[in-house]
């Protein structure tokens, strides 16, 4: 084997896993395309001692620190294939090169697909958001919106009302009387009209224009994106998945081991909910678990 472990994905989960393996003096290759899921956000919140920091700057520092370990190799390329071997795993890079390792950690993250409403995509991560814990208090006591995408959007609207006056934009969807009553108990307004476009300077949001030209003030619009794995490796390896209200995640045990022995998964692809702090913690668990398996397995 060329490496003790290969980590596919150099985001918060992947770099955390690689750091613990490197501190265990193991040969680690980290494969990354440099496109973390939160690259659209100017600042991340809720991560201890880094509240308000640019997530790209945090990752850049983490990469620099990881490279101080002599057993680490960073590969700025995509991993397009993976297979199990008698002694471990082979990962195929975009250029066709194959690298091998005894253990494999998947931390390639998710890709978000957003509705085609004009003005929405360009505001993603700044004023069009999905997590009020990550981006909520900055918009406190100002008009907020939630775009209905799925039944979970009702829960999302009821939660976001904690931060400010909230409107659920149905955009053509229908609610039951019980659902409306539940939202009313949280003082959530319901707007049935379809959304025509989002209005505001640059990536900021000021108002939502509805069909017919009517507008409603809003400084942030929360929505549930359609998320998918950003890599085909889970399917190629035949990993078992768990279905959640927000989509499938890779099934793991308490050690972040998947259904395939020797393959671990960490971060957004293997858990709900999502946040940097959870991704880092999951990566640490996967890295330590893989190291112990290398020692004792």
Question: Which residue segments constitute the domains of the chain, with CATH numbers given?
Answer: 3-111+226-296 (3.50.50.60), 115-222 (3.50.50.60)
| pLDDT for the residue 205 | 98
Q: Point out the least confidently predicted range of 66-70, 112-116, 166-170, 184-188.
A: 112-116
pLDDT classification of 26: cutoffs 50, 70, 90: very high
Digit-coded pLDDT (tens) for 233-292 = 999 999 999 998 888 999 999 999 999 999 999 999 999 989 999 999 999 999 999 999
| pLDDT for the residue 246 | 81
Mean pLDDT for 154-172 is 97
Please report, rounded to a whole number, the percentage of residues in the chain having pLDDT higher than 70: 100
Mean pLDDT over the full length of the chain: 96
| pLDDT for the residue 40 | 85
| pLDDT for the residue 284 | 98
Show the tokens assigned to 88.
Answer: 């471990």
The pTM assigned to this predicted structure is: 0.94
Contact 30, 73 (CB under 8 A): yes
pLDDT classification of 42: cutoffs 50, 70, 90: confident
| pLDDT for the residue 57 | 95
Does the pLDDT value for residue 1 go beyond 90? Answer: no
Please report, rounded to a whole number, the percentage of residues in the chain having pLDDT higher than 90: 94
């Amino acid at each position: 084997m060329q490496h003790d472990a290969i980590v596919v994905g150099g985001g918060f989960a992947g770099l955390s896993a690689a750091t613990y393996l490197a501190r265990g003096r193991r040969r680690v290759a980290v494969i990354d395309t440099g496109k973390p899921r939160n690259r659209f956000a100017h600042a991340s919140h809720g991560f201890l001692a880094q509240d308000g920091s640019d997530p790209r700057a945090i990752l850049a520092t983490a990469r620099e620190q990881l490279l101080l370990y002599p057993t680490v190799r960073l590969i700025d390329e995509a991993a397009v294939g993976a297979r199990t071997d008698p002694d471990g795993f082979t990962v195929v890079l975009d250029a066709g090169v194959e690298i091998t390792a005894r253990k494999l950690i998947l931390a390639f993250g998710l890709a978000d697909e957003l509705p085609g409403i004009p003005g929405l995509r360009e505001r993603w991560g700044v004023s069009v958001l999905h997590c009020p814990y990550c981006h909520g208090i900055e918009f406190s006591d100002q008009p907020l919106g939630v775009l209905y995408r799925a039944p979970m959007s009702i829960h999302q609207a009821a939660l976001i009302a904690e931060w400010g006056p909230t409107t659920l934009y149905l955009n053509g969807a229908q609610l039951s009387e019980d659902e409306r009553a539940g939202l009313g108990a949280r003082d959530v307004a319901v707007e049935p009209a379809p959304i025509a476009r989002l209005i505001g300077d640059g990536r900021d949001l000021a108002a939502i224009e509805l069909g017919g030209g009517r507008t409603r003030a809003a400084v942030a619009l929360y929505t549930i994106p359609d998320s998918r794995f950003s890599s085909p490796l889970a399917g190629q390896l035949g990993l078992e998945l768990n279905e959640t209200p927000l989509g499938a995640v890779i099934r793991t045990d308490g050690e972040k081991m998947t259904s395939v022995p020797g393959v671990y998964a960490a971060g957004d692809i293997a858990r709900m909910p999502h946040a940097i702090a959870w991704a880092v913690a999951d990566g640490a668990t996967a890295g330590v678990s893989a190291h112990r398996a290398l020692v004792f397995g």
